[in-house]
Amino acid sequence: MRNTADRADPPSQKAAKAPEMQVWTGEQLARFLTLVDGDRYRAPLLFLAMTGCRRGEALGLRWNDVDFDERVVRIRLQLTSVGHVVAIKPRTKSDKPRVVELDGVTIAMLKTWRAQQSHERLLMGPGYDDGGLVFCHADGRRYDPEKFSRASDRILGKRAFAIELPRIRLHDLRHTWGDSRFGRRRATL
């Protein structure tokens, strides 16, 4: 008999507006990556910035989908969190993976990261199980995507502020890579 939406208060224009995207230049990204050298999050942040992959795609990437010879990764899976339960699911409904080209900096980082992960596996012993994931905790546990975003946003905010870089969000970092269709270029270090 009556419309219950009539009693609702709509959000303000400011609250309803999506945050404006910020991106860094290659020089700004290089300064930031130097600042976070040695941080556990440096490798996945560099990967996101240099490939344009989404958070879930990067966190769901497995070593068997990294092809150093062809200089590509094949994005087949994504890591998600539903109701605080972390799960791996297919990236899309199709069986065809998304192929992302890798530059020399990202390849070098991935090779160094793989060596570090192998060392962590030896230290943890038989209890270590990373499920073949490229990016995970030092003990092999999967990252929770939501916690990863919050921690990354803190790093991107506080550390970038310390060296007078514009504040960006984790989602903005993947756009630092750029897209030539929109007149931007891939970040170069």
Nearest to 100 by CA among 170, 28, 48, 136: 48
**Taking 60 as the threshold, does the pLDDT of residue 182 lie above it?**
no
> pLDDT tens across 77-94, in order?
999 998 889 999 987 666
For residue 7, the model assigns a pLDDT of 80
> What's domain 23-182's superfamily in CATH?
Intergrase catalytic core (1.10.443.10)
Structure confidence at residue 185 (pLDDT): 44
H helix or E strand, kind and range, residue 73: strand 72-75
What confidence score (pLDDT) does residue 178 get? 59
Read off the pLDDT of residues 8-63 as tens digits, 9 standing for 90 and up: 877 777 666 666 778 888 888 888 889 899 899 999 999 999 999 999 999 999 99
Mean pLDDT of 114-134: 95
Q: Which residue has the higher pLDDT, 181 or 185?
A: 185
Q: How much is the pLDDT for 19?
A: 65
The confidence score (pLDDT) of residue 109 equals 96
pLDDT of residue 26: 84
**165-184: average pLDDT:** 69
pTM: 0.82
Phi and psi (nearest 5°) for 129?
-150, 100
pLDDT of residue 4: 80
Cα-based torsion angle of the residue sequence 85, 86, 90, 91 in order, rounded to the nearest 10 degrees: 110
Q: Where are the domains of the chain?
A: 23-182
- 149: how many CB neighbours lie within 10 A of its CB? 17
